[in-house]
A and B are shown apart, each in its own frame.
Chain A
């Protein structure tokens, strides 16, 4: 039982944490993503590798692939989507329950890739909302894992509706831990106005 002392301070017993309900819900959501594998090409093979033993997506709470959209909240579009497939993709997306997110994995899903032809949709983000783009042809499992970590970050902040989620340039650069260990990454902010703003805001608030 919480007690307010005479000086106005809130005192809590052990094992009690105060939080906002939003933050708690987001914390639950981000650590229990259920992916819907919309795998149509070679990216799907990397997607399977990501879920398998070596890369082990279970470390990030997203290992439960389900083939029913009713049970999923993260659609991973892995591979090219042809125009005959797009209505199916849209239907599956609409059958998923809120809250839901979408990762566009690989060059083809994001832009059509090298398949600039009459049959191939030039990026699924033209027709369904996409939260994360993963570059690569196909991306390595590490890249997909990084995208899921970034998505978790975004879910925690829950910026998917207002669109604030795209201010992540500095945050993502800092997260390139693997790169920084092997080769120190010097961040050049002089050519990136978004990054400049982020760094300036951080310097002001004294967080860094």
Chain B
């Protein structure tokens, strides 16, 4: 773990208690409870993480070998991740927030990083995670009338007939 990131994690621990963190091939991850996610992100932004690279999610439903951070979160289903970077010091940090059914909900980080706007819309669209405080939480990639969240593992790969639900245009009526 690079010393500067370790320093930031120590600062986080001072403010928010001891959070679970781990390192893999030089990349540092820290697991944050959903109740503190906005506060921790805000604190990390003050510590220099001014750039939000990505917001993404993993559905760990029936996942065979859950990662270590996940075991510490009592087998929750959704693993949200925020990839942060500092443009000043070139440090990188992954923040993970684990959520669970029936209504996975987390605070939006749009007030901190404007870049989160479409990223959180995509996660809402594909995983159905609600971002409280998002200014415009609409679907991003799927059509508006789509009702499911297709990257959830319990959604069938070939869909539930949405792709065949269109009017047929024949020679006679075109």
With contacts defined as CB atoms under 8 Å apart, how many contacts are there between chain A and chain B in the complex?
A: 54
Q: How long is the Cα–Cα vector from A116 to B156 in the complex, in angstroms?
A: 11
Q: A84-B143, A117-B158, A118-B156 are in contact. Are A93 and B174 (CB under 8 A)?
A: yes
Say whether B169 contacts A90, CB under 8 Å.
yes
Say whether B142 contacts A84, CB under 8 Å.
yes
Interface centre among B157, B158, B163 (most CB of A within 10 A): B163
A-side interface residues toward B, CB under 8 Å?
83-84, 86-87, 90, 93-94, 116-122, 126-129, 160-161
Least CB distance from A117 to B in Å reads 6
Least CB distance from B91 to A in Å reads 37
Say whether B163 contacts A118, CB under 8 Å.
yes
Interface centre among A83, A86, A127, A161 (most CB of B within 10 A): A83
Bitwise interface map of B from 139 to 174 toward A, beta carbon under 8 Å scored 1, else 0 = 001110000001000011111101110111111001
Cross-chain contact of A127 among B150, B156, B157, B168 (Cβ < 8 A): B168
- CB-nearest residue of chain B to A162: B171
Say whether A120 contacts B163, CB under 8 Å.
yes
| Chain B residues with CB under 8 A of A93 | 169, 174
Least CB distance from B165 to A in Å reads 8
Listed by A's residue number, 8 A-B pairs whose Cβ atoms lie within 8 Å are A83-B163, A83-B166, A90-B169, A93-B174, A119-B163, A121-B166, A126-B168, A128-B169
Say whether A90 contacts B166, CB under 8 Å.
yes
Q: How long is the Cα–Cα vector from A129 to B41 in the complex, in angstroms?
A: 53
Say whether A117 contacts B157, CB under 8 Å.
yes
| Chain B residues with CB under 8 A of A129 | 169-171, 174
